Every structure is written in structure tokens, then in C-alpha cells.
Amino acid sequence: MKVYVFGTRGFPLVQGGVEKHCEMLYPLIAEKAEVVVYRRKPYIALAKNTHYPSIRFIDLPSTRIKGFEALLHSFLATLHILTQPRGIVHIHNIGPSLFMPLLRLFKRKIVLTFHTANYEHDKWHYIARQFLKFCEKVALRNAHAIIFINRYRFEQFPDRIRQKSLYIPNGIHLPVVTDATRHLAKWGLEGQKYILSVGRITPEKGFDILIKAFLAASTPYKLVIAGGTEAETGYYRQITGLSDPDKIIFTGYVYGEALQQLYTHADLFVLSSVSEGFPFVLLEAMSYGLPLLVSDIPATRLVTLSPQCYFPVGDVAALTAKITGFIETNDQQKPVSYDLSPFDWRLIAGQTLEVYEKVMPNV
């Protein structure tokens, strides 16, 4: 079986939910199939010398221009796929799906993974949102099968879409718990004396809400925001302008041992997003057994949490009260035990392979 993948910037060590999804999924798919992954050259500096058995990387020219990069990359990937032997074309998210009709014209079988409705994100202006909605229509009409990582998103579409769709969530591997603290020391952090939030610095992550709530809580703890910024530099300037540099640490994009240390030694994890597909960072925090405060959005209802973990989305006062209450009592047993059995990557890879076999049984 041959599988051609685009819609991701690439992996490994490339920031983003789609990128992490592909990094976890395709090494397992590659045990059963030949996988070709199309990457975007500007994003793979850390990944160039990494090799995976049965995965072939094709690195295509791209830009870092918001929106245009996905369009250009998808066009180039589509043209290259049309020169290759037939197989499954697996496209990630709606924006890169514009050229599906061309793939259909040349009898290619297409699987779409619907990660998130990008047009709901504040970073896009009106014209871009309308374009993304058009891409969604193209994607849903032309895909032979659709995987939704968010069950609620799957359920909102009509029967004609659901009949060729199924819900397969994101997954999580076992955490790497560590006693080491050398990365904490360089940021001036002490274990169990900081609140952690992880994610790319974009408006839909709601970091401005978290910062305002944290400062209003007047806690002796520090707040760590671990994530990099790309096109949304205006939002980054906005939230750093709100911040107290003595109390709020921006680490930039972190991975590997540094991220493991941040998760291991945090006292509380907060996800303040206003929109998500299925947040990897929430599963990561759960795997480390961290107490949680999360905005009440459909994506955070895809896991089983106690009611006290939730606060109304965008409600600074409510989040302030939750943070204050946690710090004052802090009597929650740690690590917290969560049921992560539905989010096993091997199970997810098996379900994905079944989708491929249904779409192209003789491949």
C-alpha cells in the first residue's frame, strides 16, 4: 500500500497540532504501508537528518506567508503525486484540500482528516474565512473518506457527509517523567511552583485570557507559556505587553527533554483556548497526571474530566477564581489518574489503516 501525505508542515520537531499528529501516526502506518510525506522546507531545519523506516520525505519549496504557504505547498504536492504510482492520498485539514478535484480527475483515492474549522480562528480576516469555507465544501464533497478528530464536529454535518466519515481521536504516548531540572533552572523556575500552558502563540489559544486571569489572581506562583510564534507576531506583542516579566515566562517553542521537565514539575496545567480541534497538549498534560483547568469548549469535552476542571470560555473572572481556589487549597492528589485508554496511537493507526482499505481495497 502506498500513502501520500500532505497538509502538514512536516515532522519531526515541527510545532503544531497537525504536525504532532502526523509525527505520531505515520511511523506506525509505515509498518504496514509505504508512506510518502510532503514537507515544507522553511519549517524542517531541526528535522532534516531524521530518518524513519518506510517513510520517504519530499521537501518542497514554500513560504512562511500566512495562508499562502498551505496553498502553494498543496499545489506542488498535488502535481508531484500525479506523477507517482497510484495509492491513497491523505490530506490533513480543509485549507490544503483545494486541489482535490484535480486528484479526483486523475482517479486518485482521497482520505481527509478534518482537524479544525480554521475559519473560526480570529487570526483570519473575512476574505480568508470565506475562502476556507469554500475549501471545506471542496474537501467534504471530494474526499472518499473523512476522519474527524473531534466527535462534535463530526456530528454537526448532514447524513451525506457522516455516511463516509468516522471519528478517530488524537492519541498520546506514555510520558517521560524526569527528576532533572536543568532546563527549569535556566528559566528561574522551581518545581511545583509554576502554572503551565503549552501551545503555539495564536489568538485562538486564549493566552491573553490566561495572562489577565493569572495576574488578577495575585499568586506567588509563576506562569509558564511554552510555545513559539510565527505569523501572529502582533498577538505576541499584545500578550507580552500585558505581562509581568518577573512572573510570566515565555520559553518559546520547546520539545524533548525541556518539555518533559516542564510537564513533570508543573503544579497546574491551564488550557484557555477559545477554539480547538483536539488539543494534543491537553492529552500530554493528562498523561503526566497534572491537575487541569480548561475552557469549556467542545474539544475539551472529548476527554473525561471532573466538572471543577472547566471554566466558561473567555471568562477572565471565572478563571481567576479557579486559579485562586487551586492555589489556596492545592489539596488535589497528584498525579491525577485519567482514563487515556481510548487515545492509544496503535489503536488509532489500526483504525486509519481500515479506512485506507475501505477506500482502496485492492491497493
Tens digit of each residue's pLDDT (9 = 90 or more) over 143-163: 999 999 999 999 999 999 999
Phi, psi of 39 (to 5 degrees): -115, 160
Q: According to the model, what pLDDT value does residue 157 have?
A: 93
Q: According to the model, what pLDDT value does residue 232 have?
A: 67
pLDDT digits (tens, 9 = 90+) for 276-328: 988 999 999 999 999 999 999 999 999 999 999 999 999 999 999 999 999 88
Residue range 85-106: average pLDDT? 96
CATH of domain 182-340: 3.40.50.2000
pLDDT digits (tens, 9 = 90+) for 185-206: 999 998 889 999 999 999 999 9
Model confidence band, residue 50 (pLDDT cutoffs 50, 70, 90): confident
Question: Where do the domains of the chain lie?
Answer: 2-171+344-359, 182-340
**CB 95, CB 70: distance < 8 Å:** yes
Number of helices and strands in the chain (H, E): 13, 13
pLDDT at 331 over 70: no
**Least trusted range by pLDDT, from 204-213, 281-290, 354-363:** 354-363
CATH superfamily of 2-171+344-359: Glycogen Phosphorylase B; (3.40.50.2000)
C-alpha grid cell, residue 274? 477559545
pLDDT digits (tens, 9 = 90+) for 213-272: 999 998 899 999 999 887 667 888 999 988 888 899 999 999 999 999 999 999 999 999
Q: How many CB atoms lie within 10 A of CB 353?
A: 18
